Amino acid sequence: MRNVYVDNAATTPVSQHVLDAMMPYLTDHYGNPSSIYRLGGVARAGIVKARGQVAAALGCTPDEIVFTSCGTESDNWAVLCSAEAAQRQGKHIITSSAEHDAVLSPVKKLSTMGWEVTYLQPDAAGRVPVKDFTEALRSDTILASIMLVNNETGAVNPVNEYSAEIRKRKLKTILHTDAVQGFCKIPFSVQSLGADLISVSAHKIHGPKGAGALYIRRGVKLPQMIYGGSQESGRRAGTEALPAIAGFGEAASHAASEASSTAEEIRKLRDRIIESLKRELPETVFIGEGDSPYIISLSLPGHRSEVLMSALEGEGICVARSAACKKGERSRVLEAMRLSDSVINGALRVSLSRYNTSEEADYFANALVKTSSKIIRNRR
């Protein structure tokens, strides 16, 4: 039985070159980066290097990058603390119903504390229309948080157009985007997006779990969320997770340098799977318009996602129903897109990485065809 991993939107395997970059900080260079002796200085230099690598991948200056423990922490910090900082200017927040729970949960918390929240709905392609965003903006909108790439459908939101509208109306709205699924996967920079706050994570780009970052545009005053020491220039307390940070820097540098060629190869794999399923399993419904080549959202109406996943696991295939953090629950994102129950109930998310091959793409497609036929036979 083969082992085929096509759930890379949940997490990715750590690449060897990233592991190699991490190892010295687990063995020889184990000093505390805040210590003033040489061993601490070597550790501190590792953080400086990694910060520069992540900044280069985003197209910003190193002082605009603050390391966190993950994308969720970055999202929570951006939402909760930017709202806190601007509450005297207004208490209106814009987000979408298709956001990751790392954004929706803190937004819901704020709504219980007096903030008014406008939840925008994605269209049939899974994107939040600029028109809807524009109409929702108000003079007292202090925060807007819309993700760049949806983690379930791969839909890419026009964040640059949201920021342009805010600038055109000369509003003080802070624009945050969760770019965890877009970082080093689709072309963008902090300048092209125009967002004030951008969340990214290491483990979606073959880096380690336990490292994330928040881009904070120079001039934006964002209060601390974690208090204690003066690490991260006094913006986030706590001893830095140096091995994970070093791995994050290496992962970002490598992924950014090969972003274009990797995306092209991934697109070929995606198209190979889609063409095969259209030919061999024509009842397959493809959700959205495939903005990101890394994610295929599909459905077999009449089937149950959990049954398909179990059968595919029996063939050695790891695939998802929705976001990993939902632990197999029905997709809230697809519900927000107003898809039919039969489509939602039979949905699967296939997410690819640079380590997937054409042979694996064929194996997955053939296994899904075989699984569907077997389930239908067993019903008779």
Tell me: the pLDDT tens digits for 164-194? Answer: 999 999 999 999 999 999 999 999 999 999 9
* Model confidence at 379: pLDDT above 70: no
**C-alpha to C-alpha distance for 163 and 153, rounded to whole angstroms:** 23
CB proximity list for 144: less than 8 A, separation 6 or greater: 93, 94, 95, 133, 137, 162, 166, 173, 174, 175, 176
Q: Which CATH architecture describes the domain 16-257?
A: 3-Layer(aba) Sandwich (3.40)
**C-alpha to C-alpha distance for 50 and 29, rounded to whole angstroms:** 15
Highest CATH level, class, for 4-13+259-379: alpha beta
Looking at residue 1, what is its pLDDT? Answer: 53
**For 246-292, what is each residue's pLDDT tens digit?**
999 999 999 999 999 999 999 999 999 999 999 999 999 999 998 99
Local structure of residue 277 (DSSP, 8 states) = H
Active-site entry in 60, 70, 318, 325:
325
**For 141-171, what is each residue's pLDDT tens digit?**
999 999 999 999 999 999 999 999 999 999 9
CB of 148 closer than 8 Å to CB of 181:
yes
**C-alpha to C-alpha distance for 180 and 202, rounded to whole angstroms:** 9
Stronger pLDDT, 326 or 84, i.e. the higher one: 84
Residue 125 φ then ψ, to 5°:
-90, -5
Q: Is 325 one of the catalytic residues?
A: yes
**C-alpha to C-alpha distance for 180 and 148, rounded to whole angstroms:** 8
- The structure's pTM equals 0.96
**For 9-57, what is each residue's pLDDT tens digit?**
999 999 999 999 999 999 999 999 999 999 999 999 999 999 999 999 9
* Chain Cα centroid distance, residue 11: 10
* Model confidence at 96: pLDDT above 90: yes
Least Cα distance to 314 among 374, 239, 226 occurs for 374
* Model confidence at 2: pLDDT above 80: no
Q: Start-end ranges of CATH 3.90.1150.10 in the chain?
A: 4-13+259-379
Looking at residue 213, what is its pLDDT? Answer: 98
Looking at residue 95, what is its pLDDT? Answer: 98
Three-state DSSP at 267 gives helix
Length of the chain: 380
Least Cα distance to 128 among 172, 175, 82 occurs for 175
Q: What's the mean per-residue pLDDT of the chain? A: 95
Looking at residue 285, what is its pLDDT? Answer: 97
* Model confidence at 325: pLDDT above 90: no
Q: Two tokens at 56?
A: 């280069």
**For 58-85, what is each residue's pLDDT tens digit?**
999 999 999 999 999 999 999 999 999 9
Segments of the chain assigned E as strands: 4-5, 65-68, 92-96, 116-120, 141-145, 174-178, 197-201, 212-216, 285-286, 295-299, 317-318, 347-351
CB of 82 closer than 8 Å to CB of 143:
yes
Q: Start-end ranges of CATH 3.40.640.10 in the chain?
A: 16-257
Q: Compute the average pLDDT of residues 203-215.
A: 98
Residue 358 gets the label, from left (phi > 0), alpha (psi -120 to 50) or beta, of: alpha
Looking at residue 259, what is its pLDDT? Answer: 96
CB of 293 closer than 8 Å to CB of 274:
no
Looking at residue 82, what is its pLDDT? Answer: 97
**C-alpha to C-alpha distance for 43 and 315, rounded to whole angstroms:** 44
Looking at residue 378, what is its pLDDT? Answer: 72
The DSSP H or E segment spanning 375 is helix 358-379
Looking at residue 328, what is its pLDDT? Answer: 58
